[in-house]
Amino acid sequence: MDIAWVKKAFRTKRRRGGRTPAIAGRWASLAARLVNPLALGSLAVGLSACALFDFGPPGPDDYPVKGIDVSYYQEDINWRSVVADNTAFAWLKATEGGDWSDPKFAQNWYGAAMAGLPRGAYHFWYFCRPAMEQVSWFMQNVPYDPYALPPVLDIEWVDSKTCPGHPPREAIIPEVKTWLDAIERYYGKRPIIYTSISFYNDRLRGAFPGYFVWIASYKGHPVVRDPSLRWNFWQHTEAGRVAGIRGRVDRNVFNGSAREWRAFLEGRLNPDG
């Protein structure tokens, strides 16, 4: 369980006028003297528990650090307007497999930087290409920039006519490790792994400790869907709205405070907490 979430919810409950257990206890004591003490005592305990825990999981708005990820689908972007709309970071699609590059990548790469927005590049994994071919292709298309966000590997199940099937875990893990290691050596930053909850559980769980994990979960908070899941970024919608972008866009949050975000940018944050 996210303890910080529980503490925050408790503080919010108190600010909104929720009774503390001590106050609820005094009400229970008074009622117990008037009617059946055992029955009303149990009721008071139950009501106290409800008063304290009648909150749901945190929503995207509860996280202070928000960002987006984009590709050529978003067309031309006004990056200054994006920054002004409370956007703290952006990841830009750069490459896919070993022979496709996003036609808007260079424009987004330099446009976001000129607007002062922390941005990084992501690569979409293609299961039918050797890892080193995908490494080489990414390096050809993404400039080395020590101030960029860490590179991202986007790996998930997709329906592909050119690459059908679902490779087993034992075939995927060594190839992914090859890509991650080579990219870290070249760019000097440990890559982030982006994936879905289902793919993470099917193929990646336990394989890459020490890596930041970016989870796509549109149907609810990641921890609600999988209480054992460790995550650092949450892509909560693919239909968000942000100033400076005409259409819809993927929206994300960082699992941490503004101070922790600064530590992440400086390379001082431990992904495992």
Three-state SS annotation for 125-194? CCCCCCHHHHHHHHHHHCCCCCCCCCCEEECCCCCCCCCCCCCCHHHHHHHHHHHHHHHHHHHCCCCEEE
Q: Could you tell me which of 178, 115, 187 has the C-alpha nearest to residue 145?
A: 187
Map residue 103 onto helix, strand or coil: coil
Amino acid letter for position 199: F
Distance separating alpha carbons of residues 70 and 91, to the nearest angstrom: 7
- Write out the catalytic residue numbers: 69, 156
Distance separating alpha carbons of residues 229 and 223, to the nearest angstrom: 6
